[in-house]
A and B are shown apart, each in its own frame.
Chain A
Amino acid sequence: MKRWQVFANGIFRENPIFRLVLGMCPTLAVSTAVVNGLGMGLAATFVLVCSNVIISLLRNVIPKEVRIPCYIVVIATFVTIVDKVMAASAPGLHQVLGIFIPLIVVNCIILGRAEAFASKNTVGRAFMDGLGMGIGFTLGLVLLSFFREVLGEGMLLVAEDFGFTGWRIIPEDNQALMLILPPGAFITLGLLLAGINKLSAKLSAAKDLAGKGGE
């Protein structure tokens, strides 16, 4: 696989949210507004890229028997850095994301990539993999947050922390409140997954057809 393929893999074919269905806790919890989703996505991307690079660099040093604790320490270090930097630069967002920032440590995507990819590949490829997975995760979060914020809150792009009041899409008191509440997270993601399944089934069917036509 070429490097750009490694990168694209995380965004489409193995998208962490829509394909691997990993990292569900932050996905469901913080997707109440696009800004929150974006913030969580970027924080996770930073941790994913950094930990992938470091673990790839140390892949010949870390003994197999203690690899998991080593990975956890590396990941937890970058998570704490993100936590501190976010608290010092965007305190409002930091407060909203709250406990889910330290919980990036146990995001299955990150430990999963360390174990399945970074520990077996060169630094360059590990970097691309981290970036692709991170951006794939961020895109998934933003897409889910988009639906929840627009339909549930009736607003788009509210970001009080950055002095942005957003646009009202649905008149006040007419929005589907349920979508912004916890059940709405499950249901919106379920419907989104079904939609993507349908779409990719259609796409691959079309591809098959095109392939046969060409023969």
Chain B
Amino acid sequence: MVDLLLISFGAIFISNFVLARFLGICPFLGVSRKIETALGMGFAVIFVMTMASAITYGVQKLLVRHGLAEFLQTISFILVIAVLVQFVEMILRKTSPGLYQALGIYLPLITTNCAVLGVALINADPGEGYNFIQAMVNGFSGGVGFTLAIVLFAGLRERLEFAPLPKAMEGFPIALILAGLISIAFLGFSGFRLQALLGL
């Protein structure tokens, strides 16, 4: 239980997928103009990352057993993720047209969200040695970390719309600097030892 807590805290705060590991930057910059869409994107990513962690864990086990992990890992992971995203898109279109409309073109983009493939690769890293539950928790928490970052960012960007800016700073430049400032705040978590806090 404690190990899960540590993995979760690490993925959300200490090495946040977006702000410290630079995974999932494209949607982070692209879908963060409004808090609502950011939140929707965040939930979609949480869902896909958790599912992808579970499925790629099985795929990895299968590849290792047949001695194929060395060279088929990347290709099979990305195919599994592509199929999964397609599947989620289909379900969302049927069950929640509103959300589907809001996420629009960004849902297919989850396939090329490096946070999803990234978490699959991190889970498969023998150095981490995650088991099935740990891998899923890592995926879920990574998604939560992504959502936290993108929602905070969207909140700031909404206000930025009214700020007088030099022409050259408008758009991406100021957004990136803003992301840098949030990243500084998250830097405060690095070296934070939850173990010490829990008395371990």
Name A residues whose Cβ lies closer than 8 Å to a Cβ of B: 21-22, 24-26, 28-29, 68-69, 72-73, 76-77, 79-80, 83-84, 99, 102-103, 105-108, 111, 178, 181-187, 189-191, 193-195, 197-198, 201
Contact = CB atoms under 8 A, between A and B. Distances in A.
B21 interface: yes
Contact of B183 (A25, A68, A186): A186
A27 to B, nearest CB: 8
Nearest to A18: B172
Contacts of A108: 26, 112
B179 interface: yes
A181 B121 CA distance: 23
Contacts of A25: 22-26, 114
A191 B113 contact: no
Interface SS of B by simple majority: helix
Contacts of A29: 21-22
A193 B172 contact: yes
B197 interface: no
A69 B82 contact: yes
Interface SS of A by simple majority: helix
Contacts of A190: 172-177, 179-180
Given A80-B74, A183-B180, A24 B26 contact: yes
B65 interface: no
B-side interface size class: 35 or more
B184 interface: yes
Interface string B13-43: 0000001111111100100000000000000
21 contacts: A24-B25, A25-B26, A25-B114, A29-B22, A69-B79, A72-B82, A76-B78, A79-B74, A80-B71, A80-B72, A83-B74, A106-B113, A111-B112, A183-B180, A183-B187, A184-B180, A187-B176, A190-B180, A194-B173, A197-B169, A198-B167
Given A80-B75, A189-B176, A191-B177, A103 B121 contact: yes
Contact of B71 (A84, A106, A197): A84
A179 to B, nearest CB: 10
Contact of A106 (B114, B184, B187): B114
Contacts, number: 120
Contact of A183 (B21, B25, B172, B181): B181
B117 interface: yes
Nearest to A181: B187
Interface of B: 19-26, 29, 71-75, 78-79, 82, 108, 111-114, 116-118, 121-122, 125, 166-169, 172-177, 179-181, 183-184, 187
B57 to A, nearest CB: 16
Contact of A76 (B75, B166, B169, B181): B75
B11 to A, nearest CB: 14
B18 to A, nearest CB: 9
A197 B22 contact: no
B177 A187 contact: yes
A182 B187 CA distance: 8
B159 to A, nearest CB: 17
A195 B168 contact: yes
B33 to A, nearest CB: 14
Given A184-B180, A187-B181, 20 more contacts: A24-B22, A24-B29, A25-B22, A72-B78, A73-B79, A76-B78, A77-B75, A99-B125, A103-B114, A103-B121, A105-B78, A106-B78, A106-B111, A183-B184, A186-B180, A187-B177, A190-B172, A190-B177, A191-B177, A201-B167
